């Protein structure tokens, strides 16, 4: 089989940066032919000592216009994939499937005024890509990133989020953006305290954003812990905010990480 017949390309790790003992970011080279939409994921492959390859889905953190690819990963204790991935170092090879996929993209919504992106843990990844792309800023009046972690030290990409709106190409949209960090297992200045679900139920999330959740104006993307997604979807349904399908456009799009 020639390289062009293969379903993946071999990319080189440019940087591996630990955030906590169980979280790290990685940056790789990008094949010139690799195309994706902000919010999509790619399957990454690592080759084990026995020569077999393990594949897992990873959301792309970097934007479609970046020359590199960036990913954000958990280390699952004894996880088949992440045990291998977390051993890789700068200069090592990572396999990247040629075809990016996923439906956590802005074309899930035909309309809407306020875009809420609700994430837990590494589920923030696709939203970072969306935030760095133009489309979201042109389409929505308000863009709210909600990012829930257990402990403050697990809040990743804080520099990127802080400097995002000072980038030349986004400066004119700066008033549209709101970042709401949530830390659930300790008090942290500047962050809300309580699960996304609790903060929706008690109204604190809307209060923090200064915006109500309404079927008319709100569009929501949910990503990360599947239980958070289930629980949040139930709450949203009670407020007439429903999954957006191609045959029936709605207000909610989701991506479960496991
Ligand atoms: C569409 C999609 C996109 C994904 N994007 C990312 C991403 O950008 N970053 C990332 O780290 N993972 C992501 N994942 C999860 C990823 O594919 C793997 O599950 C993860 O790398 C763990 O692999 P593993 O073989 O070590 O453990 P697995 O055997 O795959 O998982 C074991 C258990 O670990 C827990 N777990 C798995 N992934 C996570 C996670 N991300 N955060 C918290 N707990 C987890 C779950 O309890 C799971 O049952 C994504 C999954 C999907 C379906
Ligand atoms: N984070 C760590 O310190 C740590 C360290 C080593 C290993 N691990 C393991 O790694 C895995 C993932 O940990 P993680 O912290 O990245 O992910 P996580 O358990 O999904 O937690 C991330 C955020 O999502 C919230 N959340 C979880 N379930 C929710 C629900 N049903 N509704 C609303 N919010 C919800 C959590 O709140 P709550 O805090 O209220 O749950 C937390 O703020 C776990 O299996 C864990 O055992 C974690």
Q: Where do the domains of the chain lie? A: 8-97, 106-255
- CA-to-CA dists, residue 221 to 52, 104, 119, 195, 252, angstroms: 35, 7, 8, 16, 6
pLDDT in the model for residue 4: 73
pLDDT in the model for residue 105: 98
- Give 204-241 pLDDT, tens digit per residue: 999 999 999 999 999 999 999 999 999 999 999 999 99
- Give 93-106 pLDDT, tens digit per residue: 999 999 999 999 99
| Ligand found nearest the CA of 198 | 2
Strands of 81-224, DSSP E? 93-97, 114-120, 142-149, 177-183, 218-224
Q: Does domain 8-97 have CATH number 2.40.30.10?
A: yes
Identify the segments of the chain with pLDDT beneath 50: none
In angstroms, what is the span from residue 238 Cα to ligand 2's centroid? 25
Query: What values do phi and psi take at 123, rounded to 5?
Result: -60, -5
Ligand 1 atom 49, closest CA: 258
In angstroms, what is the span from residue 242 Cα to ligand 1's centroid? 25
In angstroms, what is the span from residue 142 Cα to ligand 1's centroid? 30
Look at the domain 106-255 and name its fold: Rossmann fold (3.40.50)
Dig out the tokens for 68 from the structure: 């590199």
Question: Is the C-beta atom of 86 inside 6 A of ligand 1?
Answer: no
pLDDT in the model for residue 1: 64
In angstroms, what is the span from residue 106 Cα to ligand 1's centroid? 23
Closest CA to 60 of 81, 91, 37: 37
Cβ contact 119:148 at 8 Å: yes
Q: What is the Cα–Cα distance from 81 to 47, expressed in whole angstroms?
A: 9
Question: Is the C-beta atom of 19 inside 6 A of ligand 1?
Answer: no
Cβ contact 68:16 at 8 Å: no
Question: Is the C-beta atom of 120 inside 6 A of ligand 2?
Answer: yes
pLDDT in the model for residue 188: 97
Dig out the tokens for 111 from the structure: 């309309």
């Amino acid at each position: 089989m020639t390289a062009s017949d293969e379903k993946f390309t071999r990319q080189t790790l440019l940087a591996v940066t630990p955030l906590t003992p169980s979280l790290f970011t990685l940056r790789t080279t990008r094949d010139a032919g690799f195309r994706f939409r902000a919010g999509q994921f790619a399957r990454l492959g690592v080759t084990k000592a026995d020569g077999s390859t393990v594949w897992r889905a990873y959301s792309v953190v970097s934007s479609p216009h970046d020359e590199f690819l960036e990913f954000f990963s958990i280390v699952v204790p004894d996880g088949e994939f992440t045990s291998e991935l977390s051993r890789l170092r700068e200069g090592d090879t990572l396999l990247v499937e040629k075809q990016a996929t996923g439906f956590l993209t802005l074309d899930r919504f035909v309309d809407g005024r306020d875009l809420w992106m609700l994430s837990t843990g590494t589920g923030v990844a696709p939203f970072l890509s969306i935030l760095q792309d133009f489309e979201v800023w042109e389409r929505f009046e308000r863009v709210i990133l909600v990012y829930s972690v257990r402990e403050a030290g697990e809040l990743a990409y804080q520099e990127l989020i802080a400097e995002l709106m000072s980038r030349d190409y986004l400066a004119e949209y700066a008033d549209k953006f709101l970042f709401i960090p949530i830390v659930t297992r300790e008090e942290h200045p500047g962050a809300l305290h309580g699960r996304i679900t609790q903060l929706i139920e008690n109204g604190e999330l809307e209060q923090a954003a200064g915006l109500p959740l309404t079927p008319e104006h709100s569009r929501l993307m949910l990503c990360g812990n599947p239980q958070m997604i289930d629980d949040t979807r139930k709450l949203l349904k009670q407020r007439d905010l429903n999954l957006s399908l191609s045959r029936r456009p709605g207000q909610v799009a989701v991506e479960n990480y496991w």
